[in-house]
């Protein structure tokens, strides 16, 4: 992975690269963090690095809804595929879909009504409202924690 990091640093001087606990793009610092232990030629680490650079190239920042986050993730993987081709790599499609499935599953859990299980709509960054039974519930703002749903109120129809 070191040769790829060297090329990325040269080709994208506005992005800084630093070792960290996990692979992540920080729009606040214009920095891609990568797992220090992953400085080998581990294929999935290369894919993860290219994915985070994809976020950086696309200038991904804050997102307004859970669905928008899933869209950003998909776009970053698409960009990562282009970058992989440019640098002589190929990202396995099954790996991409497995990664996106984690976000899709997370979105489905958060958007499922805790009262009637209907898939519902997000009304703000932390609130969902069921169009079927009228239940309103809150979810955590964090995308990294389990999908908890706390009922706010239930409207009987």
In DSSP notation, 90-134 reads ---HHHHHHHHHHHHHHHHHHHB-TTT--B-EEEETTEEE-TTT-
CB 97, CB 78: distance < 8 Å: no
| The pLDDT of residue 140 | 86
Q: What single DSSP character describes residue 37?
A: G
Q: What are phi and psi of 35, to 5 degrees?
A: -65, 125
- Domain limits, the chain: 2-108, 114-153
CB 149, CB 108: distance < 8 Å: no
Residue 19 CA to residue 8 CA, distance in Å, equals 14
Mean pLDDT by 10 residues, the chain (157 residues): 94 96 95 80 91 98 93 98 97 97 95 95 93 93 59 56
Q: What CATH code is assigned to 2-108?
A: 1.10.10
Predicted model pTM: 0.87
| The pLDDT of residue 144 | 57
């Amino acid at each position: 992975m070191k040769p790829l990091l060297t090329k990325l640093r040269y080709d994208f001087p506005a992005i800084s690269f630093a070792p960290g606990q996990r692979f992540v793009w920080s729009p606040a610092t214009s920095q891609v963090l990568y797992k220090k232990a992953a400085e080998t030629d581990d294929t999935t680490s290369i894919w993860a690095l290219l994915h985070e650079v994809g976020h950086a190239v696309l200038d991904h920042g804050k997102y307004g809804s859970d669905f928008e986050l899933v869209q950003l993730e998909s776009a970053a993987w698409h960009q990562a595929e282009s970058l992989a081709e440019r640098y002589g790599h190929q990202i396995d499609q099954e790996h991409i879909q497995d990664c996106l499935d984690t976000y899709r599953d997370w979105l489905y859990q958060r958007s499922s009504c805790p009262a009637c299980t209907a898939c519902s709509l997000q009304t703000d960054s932390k609130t969902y409202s069921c169009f079927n039974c009228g239940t309103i519930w809150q979810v955590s703002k964090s995308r990294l924690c389990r999908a908890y749903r706390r009922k706010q109120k239930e409207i009987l129809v």
